[in-house]
Amino acid sequence: MVNKKTVKDVDLKDKKVFVRVDFNVPLNDNREITDDTRIRAALPTLQYLREQGAKLIVASHLGRPKGQFNEKYSLKPVAKRLAELLGIEVKMAPDVVGPVVEQMAQELQPGEVLLLENVRFYPEEEKNDPEFARKLARLAEIFVNDAFGAAHRAHASTAGIASYLPAVAGFLMEKEINFLSRALNNPERPFVAIIGGAKVSDKIGVIENLLGKVDALLIGGGMANTFLKAMGYETGKSLVEEDKVNLAGELMNKAKEIGVKLLLPSDVVVAPRIEAGILSKIVAVDSIPAEEMALDIGDKTSELFREEILKAKTIVWNGPMGVFEVEPFDRGTVAVAEAVAVSGALSVVGGGDSVAAVEKAGVADKITHISTGGGASLEFLEGKKLPGVEVLNDK
């Protein structure tokens, strides 16, 4: 990992270790975990710490409880799942800080695990309050940050605490940063980025930064419509971010200037509304009906994108090519996922929906690295520094 200390660089024997993880997992109405990927992803670090004889104080946020205790956001279901995965008892703290929690931390034996309650039950967490960070730090002797998914947040348990304890990265943090840096900073070429999804304003910064690094940029999904509009096409009722149309035009000019291939759909799947099984048709981008919406890339575009993807040696993908949750608007995304899977390139996929799409296409095991970070991987790709990484001790 770039110049930052990791759990391998510190003596952990008999030490109380505060491990920040991102156990912000999806729960259903019965508060059952519907996807435990993020818990599994932290296991190598937790197991290693246990094997080294450390006493683990594990902390995470869950959802956005807005700074107050709320049973709905309790980490209790996570404690249960973590215990099953580790095959040991996980003690659940009734709180995050305070004398009871301190006592529980004090009584831990080497290899034992204590899970704190949701750190966001305290408003001080998101404010990165130094006094709160100091209280967290009092529980332990070393800070391990393995919460890549929350590394773009400068909060007390992800950043502030590092002012008071030796601070090192866990294995997941190391792996995420390594793959993303490899893709971004020293990519084997051709380097192709695929950007889709719906949040144009969130991702336009990523496009800006990637333009200077990639050989080709493929834009699909809702994102593409804003660019099509900038090219002067009728986009009908499609999702378009009007206030980003000019910027999209500027980015297309920039791509031309620096000789980067920017590929947009040449055809799209249109329908009057988003509805499973609704009658849809494929039209050229200059023939989008005024009363319809572009909801997926068309077959010609899938083929065009596929050709480019198959040439790539490095691929970064964020955001689906269409409304993939609703059939038949999943076809473009599935086609792209399949192309990435057979490309043989180093491939990195990030973002909740993109990961779901890769899983839906059944090719998750063919992707080199699936990031556990949504916002965090995007900010990394934008070239921003992640506070949760910056605060770690240099080698």
Ligand X SMILES: Nc1ncnc2c1ncn2[C@@H]1O[C@H](COP(=O)(O)OP(=O)(O)OP(=O)(O)O)[C@@H](O)[C@H]1O
Ligand Y SMILES: O=C(O)[C@H](O)COP(=O)(O)O
Query: What is the closest distance, in whole angstroms, from the C-beta atom of residue 13 to ligand X in the complex?
Result: 39
Question: Per the residue annotation, which of 53, 67, 205, 375 is the catalytic one?
Answer: 375
**Minimal distance, residue 34 CB to ligand Y, in Å:** 14
Q: How far is the CB of 273 from ligand X (least distance, A)?
A: 11
| Catalytic residue flag (residue 53) | no
Q: Which is nearer to ligand X, 52 or 377 (CB)?
A: 377
Residue number, 64 or 395, with CB nearest to ligand Y: 64
- Residues 6 or more apart in contact with residue 268 via CB below 8 angstroms: 224, 282, 283, 285, 288, 294, 295, 296, 297, 298, 301
Does residue 229 have an active-site annotation?
no
Q: Does 43 bind ligand X (CB under 6 A)?
A: no
Catalytic residue, candidates 38, 50, 229, 306: 38
User: Which of ligand Y, ligand X, none interacts with 323 (beta carbon under 5 to 8 A by kind)?
Assistant: ligand X
Residue 379 is a binding residue for ligand Y (CB under 6 A)? no
Contact flag: residue 294 with ligand X (CB under 6 A): yes
Binding track, positions 126-155, relative to ligand Y; x by CB under 6 A: -----------------------xx--x--
Residues in the chain: 395
Q: Quick check: 240 binds ligand X (CB under 6 A)?
A: no
Instruction: Locate 373 and state its tokens.
Output: 């970070």
For residues 116 and 140, what is the distance between their CA atoms, to the nearest angstrom?
12
Judged on CB neighbours under 10 Å (0-12, 13-18, 19+), 321 is: buried
Of residues 314, 313, 315, 278, the one with CA closest to residue 295: 278
Q: What DSSP character marks residue 120?
A: G
R_g of the chain, CA atoms, integer Å: 23
Nearer Cβ to ligand Y (36/299): 36
Kind of pairing, strands 267-271 and 293-297? Answer: antiparallel
Determine the Cα angle at 324 with ends 367 and 239, to 5°: 120
Asked if residue 239 binds ligand X (CB under 6 A), the reply is yes
Q: Which residue is nearest to ligand Y (CB)?
A: 24
Candidates 65, 221, 374, 388; binder of ligand Y (CB under 6 A) is 374
Rounding to the nearest 10 degrees, give the CA dihedral for residues 32, 35, 41, 45. Answer: 0
Annotated binding site: 22-24, 38, 61-64, 120, 153, 203, 325, 351-354
Q: In degrees to the nearest 10, what's the CA dihedral of 173, 4, 15, 151? A: -40
CA 69/CA 52 separation, integer angstroms? 34
Closest C-alpha to 164, from 182, 139, 192: 139
Q: Which is nearer to ligand Y, 222 or 388 (CB)?
A: 388
Q: Which does 22 bind (CB under 5 to 8 A by kind): ligand Y, ligand X, none?
A: ligand Y
Shortest distance, CB of residue 117 to ligand Y, whole angstroms?
16
* Binding-site sequence positions for substrate: 22-24, 38, 61-64, 120, 153
- Which strands form 142-145's sheet, in the order they lie side by side? 90-92, 113-115, 55-59, 16-20, 142-145, 167-169
Give bridge partners of residue 281 from the DSSP assignment: 270
Active site residue 91: no
197 annotated active-site: no
Partner from ligand Y, ligand X, none binding residue 298, C-beta < 5-8 Å depending on class: none
- Residues forming the site for ligand X (CB under 6 A): 196-199, 221-222, 239, 294-295, 318-320, 322-323, 325, 351-354, 374, 378
Q: Any idea which residues carry the catalytic annotation?
A: 38, 199, 352, 375
Binding site for ligand Y (CB under 6 A): 22, 24, 64, 149-150, 153, 374-375
